Amino acid sequence: MTPLEKYIELKLQIDQLTSQLKEVEPQATEQALDQIYNQEGTGKTFAFSGRQVQVRFKNRRPRPQDDPESEYLFEEIQQKREELYKLNQHEIEGHLMMAEQHKSNAEALQIDDEVTKLSKELEEFLDKRSYQQPELVIKAGK
């Protein structure tokens, strides 16, 4: 088997295993939770099949589109912001233009002929030393 064939084979195996992991993860998580709730003590780590298993809890916030009540609130906020933008559009755009001008002024204060020359030298230096690095992308066959 050539290295490319081996690479493709391993890549396909990874994809298959990833799919299998996603499929079994909810049941495995439920089993692990049962295990820690049924053990004595307050630990979240236990031995199973010769391995140490640790259950970690991450605080996850629902996305607005996954929760009708938060989606409603999110849409209400968006609608109110649009109303306020329309009401204050002239003033908002003036502030944005001033902010852009201040940014340009600040940038101009950081550039002189020497900085421009050195920047050009750096770009030329990097261009001369750039190279193409191959990367394999494997897509499913026909």
Residue pLDDT, tens place only, 101-123:
999 999 999 999 999 999 999 99
Q: pLDDT tens across 57-85, in order?
A: 888 888 888 888 888 999 999 999 999 99
- Within-domain flag for 8: yes
Same domain, 47 and 78: no
- Which of 58, 85, 107 is at the close of a domain? 58
CB atoms inside a 10 Å sphere around CB 83: 10
Is there a single domain that holds both residue 3 and residue 48?
Answer: yes
pTM of the model: 0.54
Domain check: are 37 and 75 in the same one?
no
Say whether pLDDT at 43 is over 80: no
The whole-angstrom separation of Cα 41 and Cα 43 is: 6
- Give me the helices (H) in 39-111, please: 68-87, 89-108
Alpha-carbon Rg for the chain in angstroms = 28
Residues 45 and 64 in one domain: no
Q: Is-contact 50 27, C-beta < 8 A?
A: no
Within-domain flag for 135: no
Residue 10: give the domain boundaries: 1-58
pLDDT confidence of residue 46: 84
In a domain, 141, yes or no: no
Contact in structure between 75 and 86 (CB atoms under 8 Å): no
Per DSSP, helices labelled H in 3-67 are: 3-38
Instruction: Give the pair of three-digit tokens for residue 19.
Output: 């799919």
C-alpha–C-alpha distance, residues 23 and 28, integer Å: 10
Residue 73 contacts residue 64 (beta carbons within 8 Å):
yes
Q: What are phi and psi of 10, to 5 degrees?
A: -65, -40
Among candidate residues 103, 123, 109, 141, the one with its CA nearest the CA of residue 15: 141
Task: Give the total number of structural domains in the chain.
Answer: 2
